[in-house]
Amino acid sequence: MSHFGSGTEYGLHCLILLAQAPGAIISSRDLAELQGVSVYFLAKIFPRLEKAGIVTASEGIRGGYTLARPADEITVLDVVEAIEGRKPLFECQEIRGRCAVFGGQPPAWATAGVCGIHAVMIRAERILHDELARTTLSGLADGVGRKAPPGFETDVQAWLADRFESRAQAQIAAVKKPRPRRQNET
Partner DNA sequence: TATAACACAGAGTATATTGCTCTGCGTTAT
Partner DNA sequence: ATAACGCAGAGCAATATACTCTGTGTTATA
Give which of a copy of itself, DNA, ligand FES, none residue 60 binds (C-beta under 5 to 8 Å, depending on kind): DNA
Strands (E), the chain: 55-58, 64-67
Give the binding site for DNA (CB under 7 A).
1, 5-7, 10, 27-30, 37-41, 43-44, 46-47, 50, 57-65, 84, 163, 167-168, 170-172, 174-175, 177, 179, 181-182, 184, 186
How many helices and strands in the chain, by DSSP H and E?
8, 2
DSSP letter, residue 26: B
Residue 56: strand pairing partners? 66
Q: How far apart are CA 11 and CA 73, in angstroms?
A: 16
* CB of residue 49 to a copy of itself, shortest distance in Å: 15
Could you give the 3-state DSSP secondary structure of residue 84? Answer: helix
Nearest residue (CB) to ligand FES, 11 versus 64: 11
* CB of residue 175 to a copy of itself, shortest distance in Å: 27
CA 5 to chain centre: 12
3-state helix, strand, coil in the chain (%, to 5): 60, 5, 30
Give which of DNA, ligand FES, a copy of itself, none residue 50 binds (C-beta under 5 to 8 Å, depending on kind): DNA
Applying CB under 8 A, the residues found at the interface with a copy of itself are: 1-4, 6, 8-10, 12-13, 16, 33-37, 76, 87-93, 95-96, 98-101, 109-110, 113, 116-117, 119-121, 123-124, 127-128, 131-132, 135, 140, 143-144, 147-149, 152, 155-156, 159
